[in-house]
Amino acid sequence: MVARGFQSANHPILAQIVPIRRCNLACTYCNEFDKHSPPVALATMRERIDHLARLRTANIEISGGEPMLHPDLDELIRHIRATGALAGLITNGYLLNEKRIERFNNAGLDHLQISIDNVHPDDTSKKSLKVLDAKLRMLATHAAFSVNINSVLGGELSHPGDALTIAKRAIELGLTATVGLIHNGRGRLMPLTPEQLHVYSEITAMTAPFYTVQNQNDFQRNLAFGRPNDWQCGAGGRYLYICEDGLVHWCSQQRGHPGIPLADYTTDDVRRESTSEKSCAPLCTVSCVHRVALLDRIRTQPIEALDEIMPASASGAASVRALRWMFVTSPHHDRFRAVAARLLGSRSASRP
Ligand code: SF4
Ligand code: SF4
Kindly give the distance from the C-alpha atom of residue 269 to the centroid of ligand 1, in angstroms, as a whole number: 30
pLDDT by 10s per residue, the chain, length 352: 666 666 677 999 999 999 999 999 999 888 999 999 999 999 999 999 999 999 999 999 999 999 999 999 999 999 999 999 999 999 999 999 999 999 999 999 999 999 999 999 999 889 999 999 999 999 999 999 999 999 888 766 678 889 999 999 999 999 988 888 776 555 556 678 888 888 888 887 775 554 444 445 678 878 888 889 999 999 999 999 999 999 999 999 999 999 999 999 999 999 999 999 999 999 888 889 988 998 888 777 766 776 666 554 444 556 666 766 776 677 777 777 767 656 544 443 333 2
Q: What is the DSSP string of 223-252?
A: HHTT--------BTTTEEEE-TTSEEES-T
C-alpha distance from residue 308 to each of 201, 265, 289, 324 (Å): 17, 34, 18, 12
Is any ligand 2 atom within 6 A of the Cβ of residue 240?
no
Say if residues 249 and 278 touch (Cβ distance below 8 Å): no
Whole-number pLDDT of residue 2: 63
Rounded to the nearest angstrom, the distance between the alpha carbon of 138 and the centre of ligand 1 is: 21
Give CA–CA dist 65/136, Å, rounded.
20
Residue 134 beta carbon below 6 angstroms from any ligand 1 atom: no
Closest residue (by CA) to atom 5 of ligand 2? Answer: 187
Q: Could you identify the atom of ligand 1 that is nearest to the CA of residue 29?
A: 7
Which residues are CB-contacts of 266 (< 8 A; sequence separation ≥ 6)? 55
Which atom, in ligand 2's list, is nearest to the CA of 235? 2
Q: Give the pLDDT confidence score for residue 203 in this predicted structure.
A: 82
Q: Tell me the backbone φ, ψ of residue 279, rounded to 5 degrees.
A: -70, -15
Identify whether 258 is preceded by a cis peptide bond (ω within 30 of 0).
yes
User: Mind listing the domains of the chain with CATH numbers?
Assistant: 2-300 (3.20.20.70), 302-352 (no CATH)
Cα(255) to ligand 1 centroid in Å equals 17
b/e per residue 122-145 (b: at least 16 CB within 10 A): eebbbbbbebbeebbebbeebbeb
pLDDT recorded at residue 313: 45
Whole-model pTM: value is: 0.86
What is the 289 CA–ligand 2 centroid distance (Å)? 7
CA angle, 216 then 219 then 224, to 5°: 80
